[in-house]
Amino acid sequence: MNAPPIPEAPRKLRVATVSLAGCFGCHMSLLDIDERLFELIERVEFDRSPLTDIKTVGERGQCDIGLVEGGLCNAENVEVLRAFRAHCTVLVAVGACAITGGLPALRNHLDVGDILQSVYGEVPDDPELPLPLNRVLPIHEVVHIDHALPGCPPPADAFWQLLQDLIAGRTPVPAPGLIRYD
Amino acid sequence: MSAVDPTFDLDGQPIALQPGDTILTAAARAGHEVPHLCWSAEVSASASCRLCTVLADGRPVAACVTPAVAGQKVECRTALLATQRLRLLQMLFVEGNHFCPGCEKSGHCLLQVQAERAGMTDLNFEVLNPERPVDASHPDVLFEPNRCILCQLCVRASEEIDGKRVFAIGGHGIATRLVIDSASGRLGDSALSVDDRAAHICPVGALLPKRVGFAVPIGRRRFDTGDTRG
């Protein structure tokens, strides 16, 4: 008999995530979607992320979504952010740090040399270590961002709504209660 | 009373007028909030924040100082005004250091709630990161000038309610700042008392009574809603 063809499963979206000058709290809030993670993993696969062992963003192909937590505090942050921009079709600034610099940007009224001197005495100078920037920057000052998810951290439901919107091909517009800055 | 009370039209709703009404006060009495930051019923209007800009017969005006006129067609909720309000709020955010996660006014802050209501998710502009020194010289009141939005509510409250004139606006352009009437320029040497209205009228986290921060649980703060996680 002519059985109807089995519909092709939709291609999984490729999602990369990273923490720059972040505290990993935004990633924890993403994990706070709890059992919805099982539903999510049916629709996405993760590229470079603190949750995977992939070392370089985009080495397995272009990513559909990049979630960036944290602002920019050192040279390595800038290099990684540019790689994310180059390899992610949609780049999302996640959390207060990525959007505004966040509480780490409170160091911006101090001299970065003075800070290192007062913390370390003898400042580490191995070239393995990335040099700090003189100011902590929000990521939109270095690359174009497509969306932002405010909050410190954003509520789990805000992550869920953003991912559902992007998976469905909709422009993410957070529900009013999900826009939080604290 | 006349047979028909005079009204004007606000986004299609008739709003009753009383003598002396501005567009904002008439709308507020009828239960319609025109977004605002620098306006308070307690003091005179200053029209500095421009958040209450509406279209009165097509012309943009500040609703807090524009007299309401019978028969006028006023538009408050248009897509263009919403975008303008969002940009104004983003400008205020990048002009100061509004790090809400560490601010004890979070949840009680008018700037914050207006931005949330305007749907602000990002800053759009480059941050300015001002470096104005905090003034903690007063025993009971803290002044964090990097959060001040120059609404002048404290200026007017000190003059009109407290009869003191502790505050004024000084400087020009982006260097404009709140100045304090004391020989040292510091709050601790001024006539300000924590019992003054001026010490409590600040809509943001710039002027804060000391030792009362973070006392209200998240979920029960002034602007928390049912959605606010506790």
Reported as a single tens digit per residue, the pLDDT across A53-88 is: 999 999 999 999 999 999 999 999 999 999 999 999
What pLDDT does A120 receive?
97
Residue A18 placed within a domain: yes
What are B67-123's pLDDT values in tens digits?
A: 999 999 999 999 999 999 999 999 999 999 999 999 999 999 999 999 999 999 999
Contact A182 B93 (CB under 8 A): no
Q: What CA dihedral angle connects A147, A140, B89 and B171, to 10 degrees?
A: 180
- Contact criterion met (CB below 8 Å) for B34 and B63: yes
Which residues in chain A have their CB less than 8 angstroms from residue B101's CB? 96, 102-103, 152, 181-182
- Average of per-residue pLDDT across A92-115: 97
In angstroms, rounded to a whole number, what is the distance separating the alpha carbons of residues B53 and B46? Answer: 13
- Contact criterion met (CB below 8 Å) for B163 and B198: no
Closest CA to B58 of B29, B38, B39, B80: B80
In angstroms, rounded to a whole number, what is the distance separating the alpha carbons of residues A67 and B7? Answer: 51
Instruction: Name the residue among A93, A173, A182 with its Cβ closest to that of B101.
Output: A182
Residue A68 placed within a domain: yes
In angstroms, rounded to a whole number, what is the distance separating the alpha carbons of residues B197 and B47? Answer: 20
Which residues in chain A have their CB less than 8 angstroms from residue B117's CB? 176
Domains contained in chain B, CATH given:
7-77 (3.10.20.740), 101-209 (3.30.70.20)
Residue A94 placed within a domain: yes
In angstroms, rounded to a whole number, what is the distance separating the alpha carbons of residues A29 and A19? Answer: 13
The CATH number linked to A60 is 3.40.50.700
Q: Residues near B72 by Cβ (< 8 Å), separated by ≥ 6?
A: B8, B9, B56, B57
Residue A156 placed within a domain: yes
Residue A98 to residues A71, A110, B161, Cα–Cα distance (Å): 4, 20, 42
| Confidence grade of residue B230 (pLDDT, cut at 50, 70, 90) | very low
Instruction: Please state the ipTM of this predicted complex.
Output: 0.93
Instruction: Give the range of the structural domain holding residue A132, as residue numbers without chain letter.
Output: 13-169
Residue B4 scores a pLDDT above 90: no
In angstroms, rounded to a whole number, what is the distance separating the alpha carbons of residues B14 and B9? Answer: 5
> In chain B, which residues touch A (CB < 8 A)?
93, 97-103, 106-107, 112, 115-117, 119-124, 126-127, 129, 131, 225-229
Residue B1 scores a pLDDT above 50: no
Residue A166 scores a pLDDT above 90: yes
Residue B2 scores a pLDDT above 70: no
What pLDDT does B112 receive?
98
Residue A182 placed within a domain: no
Q: Percentage of residues in chain A with pLDDT exceeding 90?
A: 91
What are B149-186's pLDDT values in tens digits?
A: 999 999 999 999 999 999 999 999 999 999 999 999 99
Which residues in chain A have their CB less than 8 angstroms from residue B213's CB? none
Instruction: Give A179 or A9, the one with higher predicted confidence.
Output: A179
Instruction: Name the residue among A103, A138, A174 with its Cβ closest to that of B101.
Output: A103
Residue A174 to residues B120, B127, B198, Cα–Cα distance (Å): 10, 23, 36
Q: Percentage of residues in chain B with pLDDT exceeding 70?
A: 97
What pLDDT does A117 receive?
97
Domain count for chain A: 1
Residue A148 scores a pLDDT above 90: yes
What pLDDT does A1 receive?
59
Residue A143 placed within a domain: yes
Contact A181 B107 (CB under 8 A): no
In angstroms, rounded to a whole number, what is the distance separating the alpha carbons of residues B183 and B216? Answer: 36
Task: Give B100 to chain A, closest Cα distance, Å.
Answer: 5
What pLDDT does A17 receive?
98
The b/e string for B39-77 (b: 16+ C-beta within 10 A; e otherwise) is bbeebebbbbbbbbbbbbeeeebbbbebebeeebebbbe
Query: Average model confidence (pLDDT) for chain B?
Result: 95
> In chain A, which residues touch B (CB < 8 A)?
93, 96, 99-103, 105-106, 108-109, 135, 137-138, 140-141, 145, 147-150, 152, 155, 173-182
| Confidence grade of residue B229 (pLDDT, cut at 50, 70, 90) | low
Stated pTM of the model: 0.94
Contact A155 B229 (CB under 8 A): yes
Residue A10 scores a pLDDT above 90: no
What are B133-145's pLDDT values in tens digits?
A: 999 999 999 999 9
Residue B3 scores a pLDDT above 80: no
What pLDDT does A8 receive?
73
CB-based contacts of B133-137 (< 8 A; 24+ apart in sequence)? B135/B180, B135/B186, B135/B187, B135/B188, B137/B184, B137/B186, B137/B187, B137/B188, B137/B189
Residue B215 scores a pLDDT above 80: yes
How far the first Cα of chain B sits from its last, in Å, is 50
Residue A114 placed within a domain: yes
In angstroms, rounded to a whole number, what is the distance separating the alpha carbons of residues A38 and A44? Answer: 10
Q: Name the phi and psi angles at A96, rounded to 5.
A: -60, -35
Contact A180 B228 (CB under 8 A): yes
Residue A180 placed within a domain: no
What pLDDT does B228 receive?
65
